[in-house]
Structure 1
Amino acid sequence: MKQLQPALTRYRVMAWATGVLLLLLTLHVVLQVVQFDGPSFSWAGVFEEPGLDDAVPGAGHVIPILHGWLYLIYVVTAVDLWMRTRLPFVRTLLVVIAGTVPAMSFVAERWVTKRVQPMIDAVQPVDASAAP
């Protein structure tokens, strides 16, 4: 259980970063669909629309790339935390998949924190000066 608190903190930061960027990516794609006014709907035509590029130049390229790289780091931190805590494997797999569903990484982060924090509290030494 050594180094459990830093591993949890790394996971929580990556869960939030991945979740925020996935929400931005989702907003970008939704804006592309809304902006599309072609004669017939095709995904190829939709992805030619500017999306968030109108508001933030370059966002159409930066956000997907950043989310992809941060998701990979998210997976590594989730697996690292699993190796340290041995939470149920299937649930850990669901936590990893949560990084691909908008807003679910926030839910997964709360679930993981709720399970791991008691482990951290159990390992930390009790302060003798706090006792009556």
Structure 2
Amino acid sequence: MPRSGPHTRINEVTKVADKPTPKNQPQPVERTDGKRVPLPADATPQKAGNVRATRRKFGGTQAQIRGALAIYKYCAWISGTFLLLLVVEMVTRYIFGYDLMAGATNASTGESVALGWLNRDTGNLTGGLNISTGVLIIHGWFYVIYLLACFRLWLLMRWPLPQLIVMALGGVVPFLSFIVERRIHRETVAQVAANPKSAKRY
């Protein structure tokens, strides 16, 4: 009868540890981003097939993504429009020397001018609202809102950093925001439709 001792027990443990894993034993599933999904402690072969469905491609629900996309669309068009107005304002101010004024007064006659051009050299108009300066201020503040909208959508879609940079440039390069918005909208809708179960749920 073989003796049982410490060495015998160690050998038995070693043999158990060296046994190959059964083929039906659940294994970690490879994600599309290269990371491995750890299995829960109570994993079974039946549950292993559900691991792939737990990966999340997006950082929010489809409703959140579509809402962020709508806000981004409006911000892109408003920011792009004010950028074009800003280009016109820069041309009239720094090339021709004029600002657009509203509710000003003619400096020589004292008559009220509902809408007119202020000659920055002669000062033909006094008082009133400088629309040219207003366009500059509005575009500057709204560009901040546009950046926040870009960041929100970029964060939910989990895009790479270069995508955010391209979206941000849309607010400073004339006409680019309209082009980028169309591409972003098309790409977002396509990705959400192609991955209906990949949105994060709370």
Which letter maps to 2:168? V
In the TM superposition, 1:35-114 aligns within 5 A as 35-36=96-97, 49-50=98-99, 52-53=100-101, 54=116, 57-114=129-186
Identity, in percent, stands at 29
1:19 aligns with 2:76: no
Secondary structure, counterpart of 2:186 in structure 1:
helix
Gapped runs of 5+ residues in structure 1?
A: 37-48, 126-132
Secondary structure, counterpart of 2:159 in structure 1:
coil
d(CA) in 2 for partners of 1:78 and 1:31? 31
Structure-1-length-normalised TM-score = 0.75
Identify the residue that residue 9 of structure 1 maps to in structure 2: 70
Aligned residue-pair number: 112
More helix by share: 1
Secondary structure, counterpart of 2:174 in structure 1:
coil
CA distances 1:54-109 after superposition (whole Å, capped 9, x unpaired): 36x53122111111111000000100001100122112212112211111111111
Identify the residue that residue 104 of structure 2 maps to in structure 1: none
Displacement after TM superposition at 1:123 (Å) = 5.4
CA distances 1:12-54 after superposition (whole Å, capped 9, x unpaired): 0000000000100111111123423xxxxxxxxxxxx32x333
Q: Choose 1 or 2 for highest CA Rg.
A: 2
d(CA) in 1 for partners of 2:174 and 2:96? 21
d(CA) in 2 for partners of 1:28 and 1:118? 38
Gapped runs of 5+ residues in structure 2?
A: 1-59, 102-115, 118-128, 198-202
1:116 aligns with 2:162: no
d(CA) in 2 for partners of 1:30 and 1:61? 13
Task: Please identify runs of 4+ aligned residues in structure 1 that moved more than 4 A.
Answer: none
Secondary structure, counterpart of 1:35 in structure 2:
coil
Structure-2-length-normalised TM-score = 0.51
Identify the residue that residue 121 of structure 2 maps to in structure 1: none
Identify the residue that residue 43 of structure 1 maps to in structure 2: none
CA RMSD of aligned residues (A): 2.1
